[in-house]
Amino acid sequence: MCPNKEILSAFFDGEISNSASKKIEAHVDHCPKCREQIKQWERISSLLQPVRTEMDQEKVNQSWSLLLQRIKEKDEGTQKRAAVKPVPFYQWLAIGGTHNFF
């Protein structure tokens, strides 16, 4: 009896236990229907590999760009904050800073 497609797919993706994998592998060796399904997935996977690699590289590039942008924004924000000089407490009191506390 053939495993269902979900189990066969899990076998193909390496997502099942070693003992179950050995049983399914033995079955696939003797079952033309399951062997053909595995071969079909292998062909599809080999066709998609260049696309996956390209997509992965694109995601890496986007992630680096986003990270560099965030670092730049944070650096700019830090520089802006550093440019503002703090007002000494006695000057703050002189300009009416007490009306919020007392």
3-state secondary structure 67-101: HHHHHHHHHHHHHHHHHCCCCCHHHHHHCCHHHHC
CB-based contact 35:64 (threshold 8 Å): no
Identify the weakest region by mean pLDDT among 19-23, 28-32, 45-49: 45-49
Span 46-86, pLDDT tens digits: 887 776 666 677 777 788 788 888 888 877 766 665 556 66
Percent of the chain at pLDDT > 90 equals 40
Q: In the chain, what are the domain boundaries?
A: 5-95
9 Cβ neighbours under 8 A, 6+ residues apart? 41
Mean pLDDT of 24-39: 95
What is the predicted pLDDT for the residue at 66? 85
**Token digits for 26?**
């033995």
